[in-house]
Amino acid sequence: MKKSMKLKTYLPFAINVFQRKLSYRADAVIFILGEAVMLAVTYYLWKAVYGSSQNSIMNGFSLNEMIIYILISFITSLVISADIVTDMYREVKDGSIAINLIRPISYEKRMIFQGLGNVMYNFIFIFISSFVVITILYYKYSESLNLFNIIFYFVSTILGLLINLYYRYAFGLLSFKITNMWGLSQMMGAVSELLSGTLIPIVFFPKTIQWIFNILPFSSMIYTPSMIYLGKLTGAELVKAIGIQVIWLMIIIVIARVMWNTLIKKLTILGG
């Protein structure tokens, strides 16, 4: 009963963001076109790399597998994305956070549900159709389809989504101390793209770098689900990867709550 009441309290925040995204569909189209250009550039880059190599298999990837990896990592990054950092530092900057903080609701849960509104939009209007097309392509290339991998891909993607949401929430809390977060936010996005394996699969890095990347939370967001989908992580490796995701989720939640308890005492309200 209590869980139902909590859902009724915070679900409107997700619905509000979802409806706002529906109202500004032109922005969404422009964003998708921009991402599509990046996707095309990445595709032709890897095609050139494989075309200039004497090996048809590079670090365990054929060209067809690399194409599927590019596509699945792209839609995975899209479906887990939620720009709550901008919402948080905008509230601090214009002073509206003062009103939001005195509301009898959890600020953390409100921001997480606002992020989920963005996720809902991307999932319904972009992810579902794209996933079906990618899965058909994957079946065409490999002539096989592993339902087990698909199920665990979704389990891993949900964990990656939660890690990303709490990571962004924790990062957004820095706006309580640093009021202009735009530059730092851009830097965060660039670092996340590199370390999450979106641009380059982590197996293409030297072994030491791979080890470092794999124990950081970024690889758990996109790289892990994508590798599970392709069947590159199986058995003990799959269990270990899921385990690392669960551990990082718990760690980031704890970090976010410690940051909240520390930074809320030092918050200076601007605007009015």
The CA–CA distances, whole Å, from 271 to 40, 99, 132, 258 equal 43, 12, 47, 26
Q: What is the mean pLDDT of each run of 10 residues along the chain (272 residues)?
A: 65 90 77 82 90 87 93 93 85 81 88 93 92 93 86 97 95 84 78 84 91 90 95 93 96 95 76 50
Q: H helices within 24-101, ranges in order?
A: 25-51, 63-80, 84-94, 97-101
Does pTM surpass 0.85? yes
pLDDT computed for residue 75 by the predictor: 94
**CA distance between the termini of the chain:** 38
pLDDT computed for residue 268 by the predictor: 66
Rounded distance between C-alpha atoms, residue 134 and residue 122, angstroms: 16
Rounded distance between C-alpha atoms, residue 267 and residue 140, angstroms: 55
Rounded distance between C-alpha atoms, residue 229 and residue 36, angstroms: 21
pLDDT computed for residue 248 by the predictor: 96
Contact of 85 with 230, CB cutoff 8 Å: no
Output the six-digit token pair for 154. 């979704």
pLDDT computed for residue 270 by the predictor: 59
pLDDT computed for residue 54 by the predictor: 85
Q: Which helix (H) or strand (E) holds 62?
A: strand 61-62
Concatenated DSSP letters of 2-33:
HHHHHHHHHHHHHHHHHHHHHHTHHHHHHHHH
Rounded distance between C-alpha atoms, residue 29 and residue 184, angstroms: 26
Residue ranges per domain, the chain?
2-266
